[in-house]
Structure formats: C-alpha cells, structure tokens
Chain A
Amino acid sequence: MHPTIDQKALTRQLATAERRNKIKAFLLVLPLLLFVLASFIVPIGSLVWQGGYSDTFANALPETSKLLAAWDAKSPVSEELVKSFVTELKASKLKDPATPTRVATVVNRELSGSVSKFKQVMNASDLASPYKEKLTALNGEWEKPDLWRAMKIVSPSFTPRFYLQAVDLRLTAEGDVKPEGDENAIHLLLFGRTLMVAALVTFFCALLGFPIAYLLAHAETKTSNMLLIIVLLPFWTSLLVRTTAWIALLQQNGVVNDFLVAIGLIDNDHRLVMMYNMFATLVAMTHVLLPFMILPMFSVMKTIKPNLVRAALSLGATPWTAFWKVYFPQTIPGLGAGCLLVFILAVGYYITPALVGGQSGQLISNIIAFHMQKTLNWSLASAIATLLLIGVLLLYWLYNRLVGIDKMKLA
C-alpha cells in the first residue's frame, strides 16, 4: 500500500469499524429489546388502542350503526332504523347467543335499565312490520329518543368516550362533551386520592427513612450491617406476607387493639377502627415502601464526609445549623431519588389497597382491576390505565433526568 497514510481511507476504515462495533453492541441488546417489545410494548399498545376502540355494537349491528350515525339524535327515529335494529339484533343471536346481551350491556353503560328493554325485544316473538309501532307497544320507552341516543353514542367503533369517561366526562349523542352526573363521577376522585396517598406515603417514608438511613450510614460497619439486615428483612419478605401481618395487627380484635385495651388506653367497647379503610392503606404501604426510601438515601449518606460538618461546628455553627445548612443539602440526591421511586411505586399500588383498604382505601389501580374483572368494561379499564401510564411515564422521565436510570441501585 501507499507509504503515506491515506487520510480518507483511514477515516472510512475507522468509521466502518465503529459502525461494526455499534452493530455488534446493538445485536447483543437486540434479543432483549425484541422480547420487551413483544411481551410488553405491544401489549401496552393494545391497551392504549382498546381505550379508544370498542366494536361490540358496530360488529353486531352494522347496518343500524350506519343509520344511527346518519340520525340527528333529535327527530323521531325512522321505521327503517327500527326495522334494521330489530332484525339485526335478532339475527345476531343466531350467530352467537351471547351477542344481544353483550350489546345490551354496552348500551346499558350509557343508559341504565337498557338491558331489560333489550331482553323484552329478544323475548318478543311477534315483532314484524310496522316495527316502530310494535316496539312501542312492547315498551313505551322505545318511542322516546333516550334509548336510541344511547345507541348512537355507543355505535361508532373508534370513540373518545372511554377516555372522556376516565376523567368523568360524558359524550352526548350530538357529539358534545358534558361533565358526568354526580351519581357516577368517581374517577377524578380516585385519581386525586391516589396522588394524595402516594404523596402521603412518600412523606411518611422520607420522615421515617431519614433517621434510619443516617444511623446506618454513620454507625460502625458491624453495627450498620446488622441494622441493614433489619431493613432488608421486610424488603425480602413477600408483599403478601407483610400485608397479612397488617391485617392481623390492625383488625378490631387484632394485636394493636388488644394491646391498647390491655394497657387500659381504650375501652373494650370502643376499639379503634384501623382496618379496611384509608388508614390501613397508608400504614401498610408506608411499611412496604420504606426500604425503597432507606436504601438510596443510605447509599448517598455513606459517601458524605464528616469533615464538612466538623468544620462547620468548629467555625461556631450550632449542631442544628451544621446539620441543616451543611449536612442536609448533601443528602438531597438520595432523598430525591428515594422520594421519586417511592412515589412512582405508590401511584400504581394495587395489592395492598385491595386487601386492607376497604372502600375508602381503594386507589386508581383497584378501579382498573374492577373494570377488568367485574364489569368487563375493558375499554374503560384501558382508558383509565392509559392515563395512569402517561402520568407514571412522566415521573419516570423526570426520574431519569434528575437521578439517571443507570444510577438506580438495588440494595
């Protein structure tokens, strides 16, 4: 080759090598990335999609859906629409006997009481032309626009109504948005409660975690190792075990109440109600999440050199000033990391509130599970879940910016 270095070729070679290394590194990550994509990102995507999509009605009654879309939601419904509705509903039963009730349930979520009216239609055997008259004879409600308006709302497959419902708004048949009636408005309340619980739990964890982390960081190694085990024991113990423990402790005839009665602090007839309410949720969650606060604080405090505080003290600062002005500011990274981590985990908590929270201690995750498993309103569950997800991802982004995800350490 040429004795003088070909600058360009070298650059090219370097770039190729660089690219090859990049690809090599990327190929190593690829299997996991694909795995996470397939078993996590895609499922989450399908959830986000489900929150804006529900084709139960349009699938079962396609012609009726078209006619409803064309209807102005005010004028009396046409004979054509009614005929299409009755024949398609009856026909849908032949394909799958579950369909009419499924459709009725979807409509019922917009207008309570629809299921029974649909059942009447399904049970009536003599529905023929003129359909409108016959249907009205069956139940006067069919003459009023309300049922048809409800159907108009649920007929489009792509719909913002679940996302609106997740923030207590309703879509009207005209396509306007109005606030949910007081009877059913519950989601904003739960979002608010979840944020409040997460904030309170974070606060309590910080309050209880700070002295412990301080003690661990500045005790002799041997002592601190022993004490670390006490912190790690709950961390390594099953979440369900810890929740069980709180049930045994806090119930009416539980250990705490028994103890308070025994020492005469409370009367046997006035045992404290500490179980199946918000209090139980707060206590149990603080207990479960406390190690997540202590460990990051501990690892930061361990690196704080005592000489700055000593310097402050020897310069005449009071112990409090030395602590507050010199020591405390250095703990902020650990405190911040712990608080964010605990807050993120608390916002999505499900198991503990479900087991000890009773009615007043339910959080947003619990309503998601409720709609998933009990009402089977999967689209609404998805919409609420998506909103929660957005909130958590924002916090996660913040955590990444402030703390750095690669700084996350486990015990």
Chain B
Amino acid sequence: MKFLKLNFPPYATGLEIAWFFAFRAVCIAIFVFLVAPILVIIPLSFNKESFFSFTSGMLALKPEAYSLKWYRDIFANGMLAPDAPLSLDWFKDSWMRSQWMIALKNSIFVGVSATAVATTLGTLASVGLSRPEMPYRGLITGILISPMIVPIVITAAGMFFFFSQIGLSQTYLGLVLAHALLGTPFVVITVTATLTSFDRSLMRAAANLGANPLTAFFKVQMPLILPGIISGGLFAFITSFDEVVVVLFLAEPDQRTIPRQMWSGLREQVSPTILAVATILIMISLVLLMSLELTRRRMERLKMEAHS
C-alpha cells in the first residue's frame, strides 16, 4: 500500500513511529470493515449448496464445490421451460417470464422514468432557487429537500393512504411519481451546487447578444451545469434503483423491482440466487466507480495539459 511508504524524518521518536503504524493499522482495519462484507459474498454466490455459508469443499478449493447454478437461476426462475436447450426461445422465455427479468424491466422502466421527471423538475427549480431574486429561498429549499430527510416508512405510508384514495396506488404512474419525488432532492442539491459557481454574467452576455432566455438557457447555462445535472440524475436513478419500502407499500406483484425481489428473497424464499444478483450489482457499482475515477483522471490530465 502506498500510504505505508516509509520516509520518517531522522528526528522521529520511537513513539511517533509506533503511532504511525498503529494509526495505519486502525485505518486498515476500518477499510476491511467497509469492504470485506461486500467482497465476501462474491465467492459465496458460487456455492453449490443452497445455503448462505462456506462449505468445507469450498474452503478446500475443490472445483466441484463451486457452481454457476445460481446465476443460471436468475434467468431460469419463473420460466415455462427452464430446462430447454439454450436457444433464442430460451432467452425469450426468460426475458418474458423470469422473475428477475421482470424485476429488471420494472426497475429500469420506473428508474428511468422517475429520473426523467426528477431531473427536469429539479433542474428547473434549481435554476430558480439560485437566482438572487428568489423569495423565501431557505424555506422552499427546506421543503424541496425534505423528502430525503423524512423516514421512508412515513413517506410510503402517507403515499399509501393518499394514492389509494385517488387511484394511483398499484399503478406504474404512482410508482414513478413516488420515486421521482425521492430523487428530486438529490437533483436539487447537486444542480444548485453547480450553479453557485456559474457566472451569471454569461447569461447577460447571451441576452445582450440577442439570445432569448430559452436559447440562453439551453446554449449557455445548460452545457455548463450539465455535470451537475448528470450527477443529480445519476443519484436519482440510484435512489429509485435501490428503493424497496415504497415498492412494498405501493406496488402490485407484477410491478416488483430488483430490490423488492431481493427483499422477498431474504424474507420469504431464501435462496443464494440473491447472492448471485448481489454479486452482479456489486460488479456494476465497481465498474461504474472505476470508470468514473478513470475519466476523472483523464480529464484532470487533459486540463493540466491545456493549462500548460
């Protein structure tokens, strides 16, 4: 590890060196606490047995103790003919009927729709909020952020009562609206943060050059705050993609999403398929994070070169 690099100044006392190592040891322990639980389920998902524990065969690294059957089960569970030979029909069957595939479709549909609503409304509101003339800014920001703060069970219960009355409960529209609501605070926070560094004189310059406000927004402001909008939208999507309580209260069985399916897996039909799904989700987050970090580094390098 890089941060263990030893370059003690000659005057460092024994105590200081001991403290240096003790501090690093504590930090490593905390990092292990953070990451190990997530990594540990990856090998478990290749378990041949249908339970959540390492078997002696696995510990001895015997290949026959490992299996991909839980990954196959993600596609097969719920299919009409899961044992049919692998063919286009097999995948069609899986795409139409596998519980996880249905959940995936729902998750993406609800997530993308909710993100679209949240990003549009949130960006618009952020532009308004960041104008110096905005009245009651503190109060209104407080209200707009509150869905993030209020415990999700309370929000879900309130929506259950109200949406039931107006016929929105157990509909995709209701789910999308609910998830959009949960996502808006993230958009508002990230976009207003980007807007604070936005130079408003650019908008006046655009107006001076004859752009109408709409053109000015789309051609000048929007491209500059796009990173904020994108990351806000990403947060909104992740919020929806990871949300289970509202789905529990508001969705009917065929509207279940991936986290809802995991929830019933953990509560009802305990199966290691969840570990396989979890492993895939971890891989996705890992790839996402890595690529974000890599692009960030590349951009930084580009910026440096541009400046020099």
Question: Is A188 in the interface zone, CB < 8 Å from B?
Answer: no
Given A240-B259, A242-B37, A287-B33, verify A215-B3 contact (CB < 8 Å).
yes
Q: Which residues of B contact A332 (CB under 8 A)?
A: none
Docked-complex contact A33 and B161, CB < 8 angstroms: no
* A234 and B297 alpha carbons, distance in the complex (Å): 21
Which residue of B38, B155, B180, B190 is within 8 Å of A44 (Cβ)?
B155
CB distance from B84 to the nearest CB of A (A): 30
* A30 and B124 alpha carbons, distance in the complex (Å): 9
Docked-complex contact B153 and A43, CB < 8 angstroms: no
Residue interface bits B65-104, CB-to-A below 8 A is 1, else 0: 0000000000000000000000000000000000000000
Query: How many inter-chain residue pairs (CB < 8 Å) link A and B?
Result: 272
CB distance from B195 to the nearest CB of A (A): 11
Q: Which residues of A contact B44 (CB under 8 A)?
A: 248
Docked-complex contact A225 and B293, CB < 8 angstroms: yes
Question: Is B110 in the interface zone, CB < 8 Å from A?
Answer: no
Given A239-B242, A248-B275, verify A29-B140 contact (CB < 8 Å).
yes
Question: Is A389 in the interface zone, CB < 8 Å from B?
Answer: yes
Q: Which residues of A contact B33 (CB under 8 A)?
A: 208, 287
Docked-complex contact B162 and A42, CB < 8 angstroms: yes
Which residue of A28, A319, A382 is within 8 Å of B125 (Cβ)?
A28
Docked-complex contact A247 and B52, CB < 8 angstroms: yes
* A123 and B275 alpha carbons, distance in the complex (Å): 52
* A39 and B146 alpha carbons, distance in the complex (Å): 12
Question: Is A122 in the interface zone, CB < 8 Å from B?
Answer: no
Q: Which residues of A contact B226 (CB under 8 A)?
A: none
Q: List which A261-303 residues lie within 8 A (CB) of chain B.
A: 287, 290
Q: Which residues of B contact A6 (CB under 8 A)?
A: none
Docked-complex contact A236 and B153, CB < 8 angstroms: no
Secondary structure type dominating chain A contacts: helix
Q: How many residues of A contact B (CB 8 A)?
A: 91
Which residue of B121, B192, B242, B274 is within 8 Å of A31 (Cβ)?
B121
Q: Which residues of B contact A319 (CB under 8 A)?
A: 16, 19
Q: List which B128-163 residues lie within 8 A (CB) of chain A.
A: 128-129, 131, 133-135, 138, 140-147, 149-155, 157-163
Question: Is B285 in the interface zone, CB < 8 Å from A?
Answer: yes
* A220 and B30 alpha carbons, distance in the complex (Å): 19
Question: Is B60 in the interface zone, CB < 8 Å from A?
Answer: no
Residue interface bits A1-35, CB-to-B below 8 A is 1, else 0: 00000000000000000100110111111111101
Docked-complex contact A254 and B143, CB < 8 angstroms: no
Which residue of B128, B161, B181 is within 8 Å of A36 (Cβ)?
B181
Question: Is B266 in the interface zone, CB < 8 Å from A?
Answer: yes
Nearest-CB residue, chain B, relative to A241: B278
Docked-complex contact B124 and A32, CB < 8 angstroms: yes
Q: Which residues of A contact B27 (CB under 8 A)?
A: 211-212, 215
Which residue of B122, B181, B285 is within 8 Å of A233 (Cβ)?
B285
Given A46-B161, A219-B3, verify A234-B38 contact (CB < 8 Å).
yes
CB distance from A292 to the nearest CB of B (A): 12
Question: Is B303 in the interface zone, CB < 8 Å from A?
Answer: no
Segment from A106-114, A129-137, A157-165, A342-350 that makes contact with B? A342-350
Secondary structure type dominating chain B contacts: helix
Docked-complex contact A33 and B144, CB < 8 angstroms: yes
* A33 and B146 alpha carbons, distance in the complex (Å): 12
Docked-complex contact B37 and A385, CB < 8 angstroms: no
Question: Is A118 in the interface zone, CB < 8 Å from B?
Answer: no
* A406 and B297 alpha carbons, distance in the complex (Å): 28
Question: Is B289 in the interface zone, CB < 8 Å from A?
Answer: yes
Docked-complex contact A396 and B177, CB < 8 angstroms: no
* A229 and B138 alpha carbons, distance in the complex (Å): 33
CB distance from B202 to the nearest CB of A (A): 17
Given A35-B121, A47-B161, A355-B267, verify A246-B37 contact (CB < 8 Å).
yes
Q: Which residues of A contact B288 (CB under 8 A)?
A: 236
Question: Is A105 in the interface zone, CB < 8 Å from B?
Answer: no
* A351 and B266 alpha carbons, distance in the complex (Å): 11
Residue interface bits A387-410, CB-to-B below 8 A is 1, else 0: 011001100100010000110111
Question: Is B61 in the interface zone, CB < 8 Å from A?
Answer: no
Quick one: which of B30, B135, B157, B290 has the most chain A CB within 10 A?
B157
Which residue of A36, A381, A382, A389 is within 8 Å of B184 (Cβ)?
A36
Docked-complex contact A226 and B286, CB < 8 angstroms: no
Question: Is A378 in the interface zone, CB < 8 Å from B?
Answer: yes
Nearest-CB residue, chain A, relative to B147: A40
7 A-B contact pairs sorted by A residue (CB < 8 Å):
A26-B135, A225-B297, A237-B38, A240-B259, A241-B262, A258-B53, A344-B149
Q: Which residues of B contact A (CB under 8 A)?
A: 2-3, 16, 19, 23, 26-27, 30-31, 33-35, 37-38, 40-41, 44, 51-54, 117, 121-122, 124-125, 127-129, 131, 133-135, 138, 140-147, 149-155, 157-163, 165, 177-178, 180-181, 184, 186, 188-190, 192-193, 231, 235, 238, 241-242, 244-245, 249, 259, 262-263, 266-267, 274-275, 278, 281-282, 285-286, 288-290, 293, 297
Name the 8 nearest CB pairs between A and B, nearest first: A348-B151, A28-B128, A43-B158, A32-B125, A43-B162, A29-B128, A47-B158, A245-B37
